[in-house]
């Protein structure tokens, strides 16, 4: 922040400094100051795609999704290679339940940058919502290839495997997810479900208890324990 303040003091006509300082304000949770800086950056350089993308991100955090989509579209118009704008617009479309446009944007983002974990996760989420479980599993598998030590790919694919009644595959994926993120209560819970359904009562009870230890506010997990005859 101090360096960006100094940059703006030295050259108050350089749009990138305002866009970057706005990003810092956004990281600090001050969206009003962030928006003011993004507005100034765009005023100084109406073709600065990054500033539109950053302002769209702030608008999305505010829940102003239509305005955010308009800014992401402006970012793409001015910078057609802006992978972040495609990914962000995909997320905004996803939130307004325009799944087909979300898929198109995530696919374009992946085309531009094939090693971006979040775009595979997000596209997989849309496929899952639409009931395309095989495509969802494939995207989560790509996420695992891109970032094999990130739990998100493993636990999302594990969920798909449970949805397809592949309990053994689900348990294997949740084993990896918990190796990399042992504090995720939902992974413990879901692995517990798979263990219960394969007849591993003791393993299921242990996993359900661990889930509640991490997050006591999981009523379905408490109910699952009670049905197994175990106290939370």
Q: What is the pLDDT of residue 77?
A: 98
Q: Does the pTM exceed 0.85?
A: yes
Q: What is the pLDDT of residue 232?
A: 78
Segments of the chain with pLDDT less than 50? none
Q: What is the pLDDT of residue 231?
A: 84
Q: 105 is written with which tokens? A: 């944007």
Q: What is the pLDDT of residue 143?
A: 98
Q: Can you give the residue ranges of every domain in the chain?
A: 183-232
Q: What is the pLDDT of residue 19?
A: 97
Q: What is the pLDDT of residue 135?
A: 98
> Cβ(28)–Cβ(64) under 8 Å?
no
Indicate the DSSP class of residue 216.
S
- CA distance readout (Å), 20 to 25, 31, 38, 79, 87: 9, 13, 9, 17, 19
> How far apart are alpha carbons 7 and 1 in whole angstroms?
10
List the Cα angle 53/56/58 in 5-degree steps.
Answer: 115
């Amino acid at each position: 922040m101090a360096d960006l303040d100094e940059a703006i003091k030295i050259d108050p006509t350089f749009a990138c400094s305002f866009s970057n300082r706005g990003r810092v304000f956004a990281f600090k949770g001050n969206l009003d100051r962030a928006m003011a800086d993004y507005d100034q950056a765009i005023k100084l350089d109406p073709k600065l795609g990054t500033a539109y993308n950053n302002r769209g991100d702030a608008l999305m955090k505010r829940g102003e999704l239509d305005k955010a989509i308009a800014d992401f579209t402006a970012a793409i118009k001015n910078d057609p290679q802006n992978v972040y704008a495609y990914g962000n617009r995909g997320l905004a479309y996803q939130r307004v339940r325009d799944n087909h446009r979300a898929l198109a944007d995530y696919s374009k983002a992946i085309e531009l940058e094939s090693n971006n974990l979040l775009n595979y996760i997000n596209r997989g989420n849309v496929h899952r919502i639409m009931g395309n479980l095989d495509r969802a599993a494939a995207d989560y598998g790509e996420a695992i290839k891109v970032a094999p030590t990130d739990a998100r790919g493993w636990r999302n694919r594990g969920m798909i495997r449970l949805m397809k009644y592949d309990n053994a595959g689900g348990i294997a994926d949740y084993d990896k997810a918990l190796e990399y993120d042992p504090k995720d209560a939902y992974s413990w819970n879901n692995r517990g479900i798979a263990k219960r359904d394969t007849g591993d009562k003791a393993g299921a009870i242990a996993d359900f208890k661990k889930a509640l230890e991490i997050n006591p506010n999981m009523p379905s997990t408490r109910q699952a324990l009670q049905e197994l005859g175990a106290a939370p």
